[in-house]
Amino acid sequence: MTTIFFRAGIARFWLTSLCVALLASGCDSVQEKPAAPGASTAAQPTAAAPAPPPVQAYDKAVLSAATALFKNAKLPPEGTPAQPRYTVVIDPLIDGMTGAQSVATQSMGVRLTKMMHEQYPQFDVKAFSAANVAKNPLVLIGTFTGVNAERKTAGAREAYRICLALADLRTGKLVSKGLAFALPEGVDPTPLAFFRDAPAWSEDPATEGYIKTCQGTKAGDPINPLYLDRIVAASLVAEAIDAYGAGRYQEALDLYTSALSTPAGNQFRVLNGIYLANWKLGRQPQAEAAFGKIVDYGLDHQRLAVKFLFRPGSTAFVQDPKLSGPYPVWLKTIAKQTSGGGKCLEVTGHTSPTGPEPLNERLSLLRAEYVKSRLEGASPTLAKRMIANGVGSKQTMVGTGRDDASDALDRRVEFKVIGC
């Protein structure tokens, strides 16, 4: 079903590629430079920007992006001595919209490691740990993002953009980039356990800095400070995500707690991790307190998306207690934190692109109204401080229409702080 959904637009994708040749390619951005003082302002012929790379089979696209990254690396970085080998750590690749890791991004990381071991002996791959980060190695990052026929992150996604970057922590600059576009066949977007179970999403400077370092940049550009300042915490988070995925919940909790204690550790994914680990360990009071911090973080950043999952075509929550069991705690906490903070909210329902859009808009509104009524039941004072809205599938973050765990955020209920 997913393959059919993606293939429907492949012909349009190739035709549109001719039209986007005037746009900047892939994850690189192009800006016009102002004329120098005294220079002629007469119209000058401008060369068209190069066409973006063609869409390729997934395996070939990964190989293309990786080959460009490794072969074009400017080593040694300017101002540093040459070395027989350069230490590289890989900060796990993520989705360029949601920040999530998936089976696909994880397998890409494994493949990149194997390529460096077998084909590029100048690179010495080490674990992404706080100890290794402290030695100022090269850091490999990457985003894997669904795009439409115009190669934009909106509407129906018909391909994936692979954007890789190699950053030097000694100089604080990028030393190489790699870009390719992949067909959806062979891609497994199943989220890793932590991202599958995470209850909520909010804009997170750490993830934003990672994405901005990889996208819209070129070799020689500085590493985004939002990422650079948080990279030690990021290494602890990566270890915690691995521990959670392996079922080592106490270890994961310890690592998330350690990350939180670092100067830049107050990150949304850290708060999600502390909640999840406590919930898995059966520590409900601690989990409730942790979810309260998640809500506070989201409301402080004016936007909190919660993965309330509903039965298909219904306003009733799913009946699986593994999924909906915590929902009463979430609703009670959101009501409590909002009421106590004196905030006003717009509660917005979202759907995936499956089905007619008028129906999606109506369904998303009904779901938002249902959540709003549950919050009012928990805290009647909120009745005059909330409005409900439904946008259907107009604001998808994933956009694949799979209707499974991989695009759960497309069916989110979002809470936005508005003026009272």
Q: Is residue 316 part of a domain?
A: yes
288 and 325 co-located in one domain: no
Would you say 379 and 338 are in contact if contact means Cβ atoms under 8 Å apart? yes
Q: Is residue 226 part of a domain?
A: no
Q: Is residue 208 part of a domain?
A: no
Beta bridge partners, 389, equal 348
169 and 20 co-located in one domain: yes
Q: Is residue 270 part of a domain?
A: yes
Domain total in the chain: 3
CATH number of the domain bearing residue 189: 3.40.50
161 and 249 co-located in one domain: no
10 and 144 co-located in one domain: yes
Which residues are CB-contacts of 245 (< 8 A; sequence separation ≥ 6)? 192, 193, 194
132 and 21 co-located in one domain: yes
CATH number of the domain bearing residue 311: 3.30.1330.60
Q: Is residue 211 part of a domain?
A: no
CATH number of the domain bearing residue 290: 1.25.40.10
Domain extent at residue 167: 2-25+51-201
From residue 261, alpha-carbon distances to 132, 203, 205, 228 in Å are 19, 20, 17, 17
Domain boundary among 201, 222, 250: 201
Mean pLDDT (the chain, rounded)? 89
Q: How many CB atoms lie within 10 A of CB 298?
A: 25
Give the confidence band of 230 by pLDDT, cuts at 50, 70, 90: very high
| 378 pLDDT higher than 70 | yes
288 and 341 co-located in one domain: no
Give the confidence band of 47 by pLDDT, cuts at 50, 70, 90: low
281 and 337 co-located in one domain: no
pLDDT in tens, 94-150: 999 999 999 999 999 999 999 999 999 999 999 999 999 999 999 999 999 999 999
pLDDT at 159: 96
Q: Is residue 195 part of a domain?
A: yes
From residue 10, alpha-carbon distances to 17, 169, 416 in Å are 11, 39, 36
Edge-to-edge order in the sheet of strand 344-349: 200-201, 303-306, 413-418, 344-349, 386-390
282 and 326 co-located in one domain: no
Structure tokens at 54: 């063609």
pLDDT at 182: 97
175 and 137 co-located in one domain: yes
Q: Is residue 214 part of a domain?
A: no
263 and 391 co-located in one domain: no
Q: Is residue 396 part of a domain?
A: yes
Q: What is the pTM of this model?
A: 0.86
- Determine the Cα–Cα distance for residues 408 and 308; give it in Å rounded to an integer: 9
291 and 308 co-located in one domain: no
268 and 308 co-located in one domain: no
What's the average model confidence in pLDDT over 56-70? Answer: 97
